[in-house]
């Protein structure tokens, strides 16, 4: 019975240590300000649009080339 209690205590200690570590890491987080958040959001949206336009353009070029080869 003592070994079962000991194993259970070890698991509880591990879980407790894990959550203490998580809590200490959360204290280290530096959250962005509202202005930074808006800037980062705009950058992500603009880059997503640019990348989609590049992929669309390449798709059109390859579609045309494959159409010329097939015909």
Q: Where are the domains of the chain?
A: 1-29, 31-71
What's the confidence (pLDDT) of residue 9? 84
Which DSSP state fits 31?
A: P
Give residue-wise pLDDT tens across range 12-68: 888 889 999 999 999 999 999 999 999 999 999 999 999 999 999 999 999 999 999
Is the pLDDT at 2 greater than 70? The verdict is: no
3-state secondary structure of 71: coil
What's the confidence (pLDDT) of residue 19? 93
What's the confidence (pLDDT) of residue 5? 67
**CA–CA dist 23, 19 (Å, integer):** 6
Residue 4 banded pLDDT, cuts 50, 70, 90? low
pTM for the full model?
0.59
């Amino acid at each position: 019975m003592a070994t079962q209690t000991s194993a259970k205590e070890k698991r509880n200690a591990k879980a407790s240590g894990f959550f203490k570590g998580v809590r200490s890491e959360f204290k280290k987080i530096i959250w962005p300000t509202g202005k930074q958040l808006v800037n980062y959001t705009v950058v992500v949206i603009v880059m997503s649009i640019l990348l989609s336009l590049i992929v669309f353009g390449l798709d059109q070029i390859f579609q045309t080339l494959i159409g010329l080869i097939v015909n």
